[in-house]
Amino acid sequence: MDRASIETRAIRVLRPIVITVLAVITLFPFLYMLMLSVRPIEDLLQNPGRLWIDPSEWTLRTYREVLDPAEDGGQGFLRFLTNSAIVSVAATAFTLLVSIPGAYAVARLRFFGRRQVHFLFLAVYLFPSILLAIPLFVLFTRLGLRGSLAGLTLVYIAQTVPVSIYMLRNYLTTIPESLEEAAAVDGYSRLQTLRKVVLPLAAPAVMANALYVFMIAWNEFLFALLFLVEDRADWTVSLGLAQLSGGIEVSKTVLMAGSVVLTLPIVILFFAAERLLTEGLTAGADKG
């Protein structure tokens, strides 16, 4: 038996084993968190090492406590989820609104410094967030935007636009210019070409970019703490979860329920757009 045959057989045997091990390592923490969130606190205290309980013993009391308003004795996560959704959707929409034409301009238009400008966008990430926090805090305080969801949304847009332009530019350069030239012959303007020709072809990259921006805005904690900590009604879900984790009187089952509430929307979005996300992340990797 030659070496190639041995390697082929070894790969055929090892592939399912490796996939299974990786799946268990990846899914087990989330499944354990989910099981703790539906586990009665009394049972957890009596038998903390128990990993599985019968479905008849599950309880949704922890989720009711997490989602109910603070006035009713809950943690108010339903309000936090609404705030996070508003900020994340707005940040994603405005980031795409700016980064799509910006990426197209860098990819197609000819101007001085064109080759360097898209790298300059990434210079923003040379500075850690904590270094930008104090200047932004002072600026937004003077502008009267501190303590508002609109101010936090502006911060997220400023954070994500540079890298969004860089990511989309790499994809747009893979679209043949001949398609745009044909559209120009048909009488399309630049804007019509971008809307009717380029965007449909770039849909996977746009979707991947949108998910990237949404996840940053949904999970971000530092700027949310700086801008929204004074008014609990404006908290995002990441702030609410930090408050749960720091509360001595909050049970771990309630904390796990809050973690599930924070994580589940991202997981659902990821699997709903998994195909487009994969195409968007891999296409254009050989160019740009």
Q: Are 99 and 168 in contact (CB under 8 A)?
A: yes
Whether 128 is in a domain gets the answer yes
Average pLDDT (254-283) is: 75
How many Å apart are CA 48 and CA 45, to the nearest integer?
Answer: 6
Same domain, 134 and 116: yes
- 197 shares a domain with 63: no
Residue 279 predicted with pLDDT over 70? no
Residues 155, 86 share a domain: yes
For residues 240 and 258, state if they share a domain.
yes
Q: Which of 46, 67, 88 is the last residue of a domain?
A: 67
Q: Tokens at residue 199, please?
A: 């965007």
Arithmetic mean of pLDDT over the chain: 81
287 within domain boundaries: no
Whether 226 is in a domain gets the answer: yes
Nearby residues of 205 by Cβ (< 8 Å), 6 or more positions away: 167, 168, 171, 172, 279, 280, 283, 284
Domain count, the chain: 2
In-domain check, residue 179: yes
The listed range with the strongest mean pLDDT (78-92, 166-180, 256-270) is 78-92
195, 229 in Cβ contact below 8 A?
A: no
Residues 104 and 240 in one domain: yes
| Structural domain ending residue among the three candidates 44, 67, 90 | 67
* Confidence band of 250 (pLDDT split at 50, 70, 90): low
Q: What is the dihedral of CA 287, 162, 91, 96, to 10 degrees?
A: -40
Domain that holds residue 88: 77-282
pTM of the model: 0.80
Q: Is the pLDDT of residue 253 over 70?
A: yes
Reported as a single tens digit per residue, the pLDDT across 108-150 is 877 776 666 766 776 766 777 778 788 888 888 888 888 889 8
Which of 34, 67, 100 is the C-terminal boundary of a domain? 67
Residue 37 counted as domain residue: yes
